Amino acid sequence: MDEILKEKICPICGEEVTKSEYLEEIFKESPKVNYLAHMVTHYRHNHIEYWNRCWGPNGRYYRSNWFGDYEEEKKKVNERAKRQIIRKGKETLKRLSIKSTDFQMLQGTEKMTLDLAIKQLD
């Protein structure tokens, strides 16, 4: 299990996730939260197809009048990612002893997401 945390293996697709120096620094004292932060970023960029179409190199044309602010849209997508990680990666998260309190330490975690984490993981 330590290998999954250390190597940042996605509980959904089984791929090793690209590590972020920024996230590594912010969450260096909390390996489980570090893992979750990497999974949210990975999910947003690799499991939600429209995200890269909308916000990638040609995104300005693609999204023209669809969305407002990038940061607002990112918050919504991150919450969706957290819930999908809980639902689809529940067994791996349980083996890693990840709890709702770990999700609570991530920026902007909403009540609906925490309630799901409590129900599925605690």
Q: Give the pLDDT score at 5.
A: 87
Average pLDDT for the chain:
87
pLDDT tens digit sequence for 7-66: 999 999 999 999 999 999 999 999 999 999 999 999 988 887 665 556 555 555 555 556
Dist. CA 115–CA 43, nearest whole Å: 20
Prediction pTM value: 0.85
In 3D space, the residue among 84, 67, 73, 78 whose CA is nearest the CA of residue 108 turns out to be 78
Strand partners, 9: 16
